[in-house]
């Protein structure tokens, strides 16, 4: 069976690690961690992920921009994206929704488990 890939673009180290630990549960997946948007997009050149978990508040390039880039990128534009953020900014949410996301999680409101469960379904 082909191993699925999950790309996590998250700048906070702790959260990144937590997500990694949580996602580990899923069988036969590889977890790709990126610290910022640029790194994330670079990684897509190597591997086409099956799901992307994207943070909004990041230095250099914020999540919305990354999402834009993803959607513009032919090879990765159809990949399901989940926003995992602390930002509840209506504007951002609307933009993301417009660009096409599968879910918007406010980090502190969701357990790792629930996030993992949701992501699983898109693999």
Partner 1 sequence: MTNQLKEKLIESEERYRIVTEQTGQLIYDYDIPSGKIEWFGKTKQLIGYSKKEMDAFGITGWEKMIHEEDRKQAVEELDKAFKKGDKYNVVYRFQKKDGTYIKVADSGVFVKNKKGKLSRMLGVMKDVTEEYFNVRKMEESEKKYKAFVERSNDGVALLQEGKVVFINSKLEKMFGWTRKDAVGKSFLNFIYPTEVEKVQTMYEERLRGKKVPAIYESTMVNKNHEPIFVELNAGLIDYNGKKADLVYVRDVSERKKILDDVKEEKEKAEGYLNIAGSIILAMDIDGKITLINKMGNKLLGYKEGELIGKNWISLCIPKSQGKMVREVFQQVLSGKKKFPEHFVNNVATKTGEERIISWNNSRILDDENKLIGILSAGEDVTDKIKAEEELKNSEMILKTVLEGSPIPNFYIDKNHRIVYWNKTLEKFSGIKAKDAIGTDIQWKVFYEKKRPCMADLVVDNNIDAIKQLYAGIYKKSELIPNAYEAVDYFPGIGKNGAWLSFTAAQIRDVKGNVIGALESLEDITEMKLSEHALIEKMEDIRIEKEKTEKIIYGIGDGVFVLDKNYKILLFNNAAENISGYTHKEAFGKHFSKILKFVSETDNTDKSGFLQNTIETGISHKMENHTLLITKSGEKVPIADSCAPLKDREGKVIGGVVVFRDVTEERKIDQMKNEFISLASHQLRTPLSGIKWFIELLLQGKAGELTIQQKDYLTQVAQSNERMISLIEDLLSVSHIETGKKFVIEKEKAHPSDFVEESLIDLTPLAEQYGIKLVSKITKNCNCTIFVDKDKILQVYYNLLSNAIKYSKKGGKVIISCNSDKNSVIVSIQDFGYGIPKKQQKRVFEKFFRADNILTKQTDGTGLGLYIAKAIVEANGGEMWFKSEENKGTTFYFSLPKKK
Cα 100 from Cα 91, distance rounded (Å): 14
Rg value, the chain, Cα? 13
Cα 84 from Cα 72, distance rounded (Å): 21
Residue closer to partner 1, measured from CB, 69 or 95: 95
Among 112, 118, 120, 123, binds partner 1 (CB under 8 A): 112
Please report whether residue 15 would count as binding partner 1 according to CB under 8 A: yes
Please report whether residue 103 would count as binding partner 1 according to CB under 8 A: no
Choose among 79, 17, 15, 73: nearest CA to 42: 73
Among 47, 88, 97, 117, binds partner 1 (CB under 8 A): 88
Please report whether residue 28 would count as binding partner 1 according to CB under 8 A: no
User: Binding mask 39-78 vs partner 1 (x if CB under 8 A, - otherwise)?
Assistant: ------------------x---------------------
- Binding part of the chain for partner 1, among 12-20, 34-42, 60-68, 69-77 by CB under 8 A, reads 12-20
Number of residues in the chain: 123
CB neighbourhood size of 108 (10 A): 6
């Amino acid at each position: 069976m082909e191993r699925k890939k999950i790309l996590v673009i998250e700048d906070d180290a702790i959260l990144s690690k937590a997500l990694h630990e949580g996602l580990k549960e899923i069988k036969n997946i590889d977890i790709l961690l990126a610290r910022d948007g640029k790194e994330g997009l670079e990684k897509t050149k190597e591997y086409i992920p099956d799901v992307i978990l994207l943070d909004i508040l990041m230095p250099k390039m914020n999540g919305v921009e990354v999402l834009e880039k993803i959607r513009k990128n032919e090879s990765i534009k159809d990949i399901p994206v989940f926003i995992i953020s602390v930002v509840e900014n209506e504007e951002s949410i609307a933009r993301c929704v417009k660009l096409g996301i599968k879910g918007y999680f406010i980090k502190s409101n969701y357990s790792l488990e629930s996030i993992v469960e949701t992501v699983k379904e898109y693999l």
